[in-house]
Amino acid sequence: MKSYQKSAELFKKAQTIIPGGVNSPVRACRSVGMDPLFIEKAMGSKLVDADGNEFIDYIGSWGPMILGHSHPAVIKAIEAVLKRGTSFGAPVDLEVELAELIIDRVPALEKIRMVNSGTEAAMSAIRVARGMTGRNTIVKFDGCYHGHADSFLVAAGSGVATLGIAGSPGVPESVISHTMSLPYNDIETFTSVMQKSGDSVAAVIVEPVAGNMGLVPPAEGFLETLRKETARYGAVLIFDEVMTGFRVAAGGAQELFNIEPDMSCFGKIVGGGLPVGAYGGRNDIMAQVAPEGPVYQAGTLSGNPLAMAAGIATLKETMVPGFYDALEKASARLAAGLEKAAEITGTKAVVNRVGSMVGLFFTDQPVNSFEDAKTSDLEKFSAYYRNMLEMGIYLAPSQFEALFVSAAHTDEDIDATVFAAKEVLTELSK
Ligand code: KE4
């Protein structure tokens, strides 16, 4: 048995001065029946915890670490900027460079605004949509998570689903009354709601590949229907690519599925592990944003030079020829291995994958929606999580999260992971 003594001591102290001992709920590992590990350092595909235990990491800081941890190009870029200072509260060349890199890769973007998190990106995007259309209603989808802004805490995924929180106290009824949450991948329901209420919808926001209910790909025609119906009723189509952006393809999910949204949100990878979010769209839409237009949004540390440098270095590394092909190969190897492990151990499990986002559900039915995801055996997932950790595999501590493969994951890492899954599922099947 691994010792987690140091983490336990740190967690005990943390709980006296930080709510739940963590700065983000899903890290608390409550749904998998253990206390969180405190991480000492990370490099490549590995994490080392406070007790010196080494793990193969499939959280990757919940998505940003697509290159793997402590990538030399990112460290070097941050060190170079450090010599100039850390924050000026004024424009720097690096903001222009990162904006250019993003716009070059995402054809639907003509202008982009940097913020400090995915939450800020998504909440700002819907504010622009509301300001532009003069409408209040937003449509989201059950199990999708767009950060913790008031309007989104309705049938949300990720930590909200993990902790089984229906919505959240503190969010006024008057706010969530403007949010409609519909079943993901349910084309019929969406179309009929738009027929009835489309003229009052400011925006439809969607995770083009859902990564916050476990991993659920878009059904055939789903994204195309969102595109068609929002255009028909003058609603803004927002792709929340905080997780999928620069992850599932060089140009994100909108490249993969060849759909052009009106606005896009980014985070995670775009900051290379430092706090960056971004939202953008066509010129006519982004012209609404202050100081160019009337829709206000601001941030002291938006465009922070260190964060820009980390984002630039990360995006540049993902443009190395063959980067996504290699990621695709490693991710397919992992998914096939997990499926094989379930099959040979007689475990009821479904593996979903899009690019380097992988989801494993302990259920015997296809998982195409949040309702489907909720049929998973959460007890089994919890035991699987703890046993895989014991085998040196660090997974997301929730059935309603995705696994992330990085460019640093080797065939040996993948094969060790599959071996561990076989061992653990054999034990759990007894
Ligand atoms: P942040 O505010 O956490 O940077 O981004 C919010 C967000 C927005 N949109 C999507 C699609 C997201 O996945 C997220 C954040 N993802 C979660 C993990 N599923 C963050 C982890 C956490 O809350 O600690």
Amino acid at 200: S
Confidence of residue 165 (pLDDT cuts 50, 70, 90): low
Judgement on whether residues 155 and 198 belong to the same structural domain of the protein: yes
Distance (angstroms) between ligand 1 centre and the Cα of 145 equals 7
For the question of whether the overall pTM of this predicted structure is more than 0.95, the answer is yes
Judgement on whether residues 102 and 239 belong to the same structural domain of the protein: yes
Give the length of the chain: 430
Are residues 373 and 207 in contact, defined by beta-carbon separation less than 8 angstroms?
no
Confidence of residue 159 (pLDDT cuts 50, 70, 90): confident
Residue-wise pLDDT tens digits, 227-284 = 999 999 999 999 999 999 999 999 999 999 999 999 999 999 999 999 999 999 999 9
CATH of the domain at 381: 3.90.1150.10
Dist. CA 124–CA 295, nearest whole Å? 9
Active site amino acids: 145, 240, 268
- Domain boundary among the residues 303, 318, 333 is at 318
Residue-wise pLDDT tens digits, 69-117 = 999 999 999 999 999 999 999 999 999 999 999 999 999 999 999 999 9
Judgement on whether residues 178 and 79 belong to the same structural domain of the protein: yes
Judgement on whether residues 143 and 261 belong to the same structural domain of the protein: yes
Judgement on whether residues 313 and 377 belong to the same structural domain of the protein: no
Which ligand 1 atom is the nearest neighbour of the CA of 277? 4
Judgement on whether residues 356 and 327 belong to the same structural domain of the protein: yes
Residue-wise pLDDT tens digits, 107-157 = 999 999 999 999 999 999 999 999 999 999 999 999 999 999 999 998 888
SS (H, E, C) 194-236: HHHHHHHEEEEEECCCECCCCCECCCCCHHHHHHHHHHHHCCE
Domain of 269?
A: 72-318
Return phi, psi of residue 105, to 5°: -95, -15
- Domain boundary among the residues 295, 318, 341 is at 318
CATH of the domain at 168: 3.40.640.10
Distance (angstroms) between ligand 1 centre and the Cα of 210 equals 12
pLDDT value at position 156? 82
Judgement on whether residues 259 and 363 belong to the same structural domain of the protein: no
Dist. CA 296–CA 125, nearest whole Å? 11
Helix 187-197 crosses helix 222-233 at what angle (to 10 degrees)? Answer: 0
**Mean pLDDT, all residues of the chain:** 96
Judgement on whether residues 309 and 395 belong to the same structural domain of the protein: no
Number of domains in the chain: 2
Closest residue by Cα to atom 15, ligand 1, is 147
Judgement on whether residues 363 and 245 belong to the same structural domain of the protein: no
N- to C-terminal Cα distance for the chain? 20
**Beta-carbon count within 10 A of 371 CB:** 14
Q: In this model, does residue 166 exceed pLDDT 70?
A: no
pLDDT value at position 162? 75
Closest residue by Cα to atom 24, ligand 1, is 24
- Domain boundary among the residues 299, 318, 337 is at 318
Judgement on whether residues 385 and 292 belong to the same structural domain of the protein: no
Q: Which of 215, 240, 243 to mutate to test the pocket of ligand 1 (most atoms within 8 A of CB)?
A: 243
Count of helices and strands (H, E) across the chain = 15, 14
